[in-house]
Amino acid sequence: MICNAGMAACLLALGVAHAGTQPEDAAPGEPAGDGRPAQRPDGGASAENKPLEGEMTPELDVAIERGLAFLASEQNEDGSFGSGRFGKNIAVTALASIAMLADGNLPGRGPYGKQVEKGLEFVLRSSTETGLLASDSTNGPMYGHGFAALFLGEVYGMTSGGGETPYAARVHEALVKACRLIEQSQNPDGGWRYNPVPYDADVSVTICQIMALRSARNAGIEVPRGVIDKAVEYVRQCQNPDGGFRYQLNQGYSAWPRSAAGVASLYYAGIYKDDAIDKGVEYLRNTALPGATNAPSAHYFYGHYYAVQAMYLAGGPSWAEWWPAIRRELLERQADDGSWADQSVGPSYGTAMALIILQMPKRLLPIFQK
């Protein structure tokens, strides 16, 4: 598997902190040890509390409704999503379920609550004794583990720890075990690789784990600060002089999908004002602005999934420029049946990613609420 040559396919060819410990003091800009989001040192420059005029349009609302209906029709009987060689895939399942959470659906509640609940059950059944979240089709499991742990963290956060729901204890147990596995498999450089062993690392897998840890920590699961500090150092060392990010410490040219992931990972690690972020955002605006004549198409959904998060967190002119452009482009790409096609992984993946991007302005997912 050559992941720096096929990031989207590798992403899905997949196939720590314990709530009983004492919290560590949070560094400036980092989430508090009790899971409360940190206050941004720049006073909140992100787009969270500064929506653009007309962010959501009637056309966008219709497109989202059609996309969600298509996605629901793609769910397998066992709660999973995905087909073909990506059938019953835990990463596709997690992303599809997150797309429905982004509309305000919760397990058993909302128009697509049944689908979210079935997706959650599939992910919980995929939790192993070691804490690894992996389905039968998993190959290179830390990709799928990161997305599945992110989904669990978002469910846990959106339901206030599950409340009195029948799945609360199971979600907590699976999420804590998943975070502990991430912590234990961090390599000495601070990153993660395909398998849950601390021997190697790349930017793409690393951002998956950073987002999962941030989501869990926001929801109240404690994560040692040292794990995040090491991850930040790894990501920083992967940045090239042009502002883009290479695949690994010692190899790789800059490419926009992994550069979007690199910028987003710094934000989710609690870094809000930094030259590395400024350079990374500028690199993305110069190389991957949707609709630009030179805008690349490789790893399209993977790249824009992270790029829209980076621009949302950057706020200001970056968000004002990027959001209308990606909204327009995705609306133009939607098929008549409501789906978004992805030739490498399939329509469930493409549709889930497009819906997560397009529902960013709803600001319902805790991971986007900083």
Distance CA 305, CA 282 (A): 17
Beta-ladder partners of 142: none
Burial of residue 191 (CB within 10 Å: 0-12, 13-18, 19+) is: buried
Q: Are 190 and 232 in contact (CB under 8 A)?
A: yes
- In the DSSP assignment, the letter for residue 3 is T
Per-residue confidence (pLDDT) for residue 1, from 0 to 100: 33
Q: Which residues does 77 contact at the CB level (< 8 Å), separation at least 6?
A: none
Which range among 1-15, 27-41, 114-128, 136-150 has the greatest average pLDDT? 114-128
Q: Which CATH number fits domain 66-368: 1.50.10.20, 3.40.1350.10, 3.90.470.20, 3.90.10.10?
A: 1.50.10.20
From 139-143, 253-257, 304-308, the region with the lowest mean pLDDT: 139-143
Amino acid 319 reads W
Q: Is 104 helix (H, G, I), strand (E, B) or coil?
A: coil
Q: Is the confidence at residue 32, as pLDDT, over 80?
A: no
- With CA atoms as reference, report the closest residue to 152 among 131, 183, 130, 129: 131
Greater model confidence, 346 or 13 = 346
Neighbours of 241 (CB within 10 A): 7
Q: Using a CB cutoff of 8 Å and minimum separation of 24, what contacts does 290-298 make?
A: 290/322, 290/325, 290/326, 290/328, 290/329, 291/325, 291/328, 291/329, 296/256, 298/7, 298/255, 298/257
Q: Using a CB cutoff of 8 Å and minimum separation of 24, what contacts does 326-334 make?
A: 326/290, 326/357, 327/57, 327/60, 327/358, 328/290, 328/291, 329/290, 329/291, 330/63, 330/304, 330/354, 330/357, 330/358, 331/59, 331/60, 331/63, 334/63, 334/66, 334/67
- The overall average pLDDT reported for the chain is 87
Dump pLDDT digits (tens) for 215-239: 999 999 999 999 999 999 999 999 9
Greater model confidence, 127 or 14 = 127
Per-residue confidence (pLDDT) for residue 344, from 0 to 100: 85
Q: Is the confidence at residue 37, as pLDDT, over 50?
A: no
Q: Is the confidence at residue 245, as pLDDT, over 80?
A: yes
Instruction: Please report, for the chain, how many H helices and E strands are present, in that order.
Output: 13, 0
Q: What is the residue extent of each domain of the chain?
A: 66-368
- With CA atoms as reference, report the closest residue to 346 among 112, 77, 91: 91
Band (pLDDT 50/70/90 cuts) for residue 8 is very low
Work out the average pLDDT over 301-321.
96
Per-residue confidence (pLDDT) for residue 14, from 0 to 100: 36
Per-residue confidence (pLDDT) for residue 15, from 0 to 100: 39
CA 316 vs CA 42, 252, 297: distances in Å: 12, 31, 25
Work out the average pLDDT over 300-311.
96
Band (pLDDT 50/70/90 cuts) for residue 323 is very high
Dump pLDDT digits (tens) for 116-152: 999 999 999 999 999 999 987 656 799 999 999 999 9
Work out the average pLDDT over 174-194.
97
Distance CA 346, CA 334 (A): 14
R_g over Cα of the chain:
18
Q: Is the confidence at residue 268, as pLDDT, over 80?
A: yes
